[in-house]
Chain A
Amino acid sequence: AQSVTQPDIHITVSEGASLELRCNYSYGATPYLFWYVQSPGQGLQLLLKYFSGDTLVQGIKGFEAEFKRSQSSFNLRKPSVHWSDAAEYFCAVGFTGGGNKLTFGTGTQLKVEL
């Protein structure tokens, strides 16, 4: 069965610093990969997705992610973090034949210091 690992439970960065959130997946074929953000008490908002093609994906709010097949990774990056980026970030994976269900990582809580 596929799995998603987000090794960092909590990350704290200073406003204006760069950010990288790690995501590793376990699945044999090419997965479909997503990053969602969840603010406290809110639902999930899609930041970006990778289905195929260019392995560097641009998303909303200045985020980008790079799919690296050799490392089974899909890390999320932002060059300069804003205080409003403080939230919980979830990586998710789906795959062809998987019945459309997404498997989520356990999330990374981002704190931004002013």
Chain B
Amino acid sequence: NAGVMQNPRHLVRRRGQEARLRCSPMKGHSHVYWYRQLPEEGLKFMVYLQKENIIDESGMPKERFSAEFPKEGPSILRIQQVVRGDSAAYFCASSRTAEGGTDTQYFGPGTRLTVL
């Protein structure tokens, strides 16, 4: 039973390029979450999605960042025109349900983005 899959594991981009991060949730999970971990910090919530819907994007920067979770395929976190401050580890998590407001989230290995 595969866990949460993320790719690529490492991504290097130059300033101004686009970064596209992919996340495949655990089998049977329909809820996906993205978190960002800046160096020497904890994880910060970015966005929560269900299939074809963004449920909560309160942690997403207003510009350049977008996320989707299509009916088929992985969830995508897209960062346009990357800047050095976007360098971080981006973690995806998934859960089976959202009962009671919170269900256990299982995390992927993360994508480490480096912006040159």
Q: How far is the CA of A95 from the CA of B98 in the complex (A)?
A: 11
Residues of A within 8 A of B103 (CB): 100
Closest chain-A Cβ to B54's Cβ sits at a distance in Å of: 11
Q: How many A-B residue pairs have CB under 8 A?
A: 77
Q: How far is the CA of A11 from the CA of B48 in the complex (A)?
A: 33
Partner of B101, one of A42, A92, A97, A107: A97
The contact string, 1 if C-beta is below 8 Å from chain A, for chain B 68-94, is 000000000000000000000001010
Closest chain-A Cβ to B56's Cβ sits at a distance in Å of: 4
- Using a CB–CB distance below 8 Å, which chain B residues touch chain A? 4, 6, 31, 33, 35, 41-45, 48, 55-56, 58-59, 91, 93, 95, 98, 100-110
Q: How far is the CA of A13 from the CA of B16 in the complex (A)?
A: 45
Q: Which chain A residues numbered 83 to 100 have a C-beta less than 8 Å away from chain B?
A: 90, 92, 94-100
Q: How far is the CA of A107 from the CA of B102 in the complex (A)?
A: 21
**Is A100 in contact with B56, judged by CB distance below 8 angstroms?**
yes
Closest chain-A Cβ to B106's Cβ sits at a distance in Å of: 7
Residues of B within 8 A of A106 (CB): 41-42
Q: How far is the CA of A66 from the CA of B31 in the complex (A)?
A: 28
Which residue, B41, B55, B56, B107, has most C-beta atoms of chain A within 10 A?
Answer: B107
Residues of A within 8 A of B33 (CB): 100-102
User: When A43-B91, A43-B108 are in contact, do A96 and B45 touch as well, CB less than 8 Å?
Assistant: no
Q: How far is the CA of A44 from the CA of B116 in the complex (A)?
A: 26
User: When A36-B107, A42-B109 are in contact, do A105 and B102 touch as well, CB less than 8 Å?
Assistant: no
